[in-house]
Amino acid sequence: MSQSSASLPVAPSAEVNWPLRQLLILGVGLLALFIPTYLSLADTAWMKDDNGHAPIIIALSFWLLWNDRQQLFAGEAKPAMVSGWVVLVLGLAMYVLGRSQGIDTLEALSHIFLLAACMLMLRGWQMIRMAWFPLFFMLFMVPLPGVLVQAITMPLKVAVSVVAEAILHAAHYPIGRSGVTLTIGPYQLMVADACSGLNSLFTLESLGLFYMKLMNYHSRARNTLLALAIVPISFVSNVVRVIVLVLVTYHLGDEAGQGFLHGFAGMLLFVVALILTYMTDRVLASRFDESNGQKRV
């Protein structure tokens, strides 16, 4: 049999039309609005544990947009000017109200609306459909209202305290609890807001969604189950952190416990959470990969 050296025809890539002038104008306008907000948040909300992940979310969101730039600008542009103007006016109103009244939630949220408005005016709804994940992902950089944070934090702190006490009591440690204060031996430790799980929940949920985006899983059921699993994973990770902190304090003293709290507690939280997330993903892989007739390494 003769062999042909001719290669298979390669399909031409979709034509990309780069509206450089419009991109430059929109980029300058967005930076003029975004930079003052980011500088303000860097001195306020982003200095706290519950919003320290926001700069990472912003960087990853724009990286995703840059990575998909060819697809976003491929094909014919179909601007949706009416929808774009509606979203733009709404975003500007949120920005002005948030900026003038010091409402970080509104000011940060307005950036997503303004970015979406620019997409609508530039390329239309097809660009929004292709960029839905980066836009949704940016929600995790929006600071939550203080009232909502306080309403959620206290029940989580109590739950973490109850579970930690039960586990240590089952292990025959001399531990007691009053509210969110744990007493073990001569030491008293209060479960702080950072140990409630709310802060880590949003950080881990965002990282979990980013992980699923990179893995490009096509099963909606698998993605949904993994995203939901991050909620109990976050809770378990915080319980482990509190237990380890209590044990370090009990066996090595209060000074060692405080040193552990500031030096390794956060690292331990994310190590445990990442291990549990990976284990959960492997369990789901054994189910969904087999059902799809695939075998993953």
Structure tokens at 157: 């702190």
Active site residue 21: no
Q: Which residue is associated with the tokens 């380890």?
A: 244
How many Cβ atoms from other residues are within 10 Å of residue 262's Cβ? 9
Active site residue 195: yes
Of 123, 177, 195, 222, which is the active-site residue?
195
Of 123, 177, 222, 241, which is the active-site residue?
241
R_g of the chain computed on alpha carbons? 24
| 278-296 residues labelled b (16+ CB within 10 A) or e (exposed) | eebbeebbeebbeeeeeee
Residues that are catalytic = 195, 241
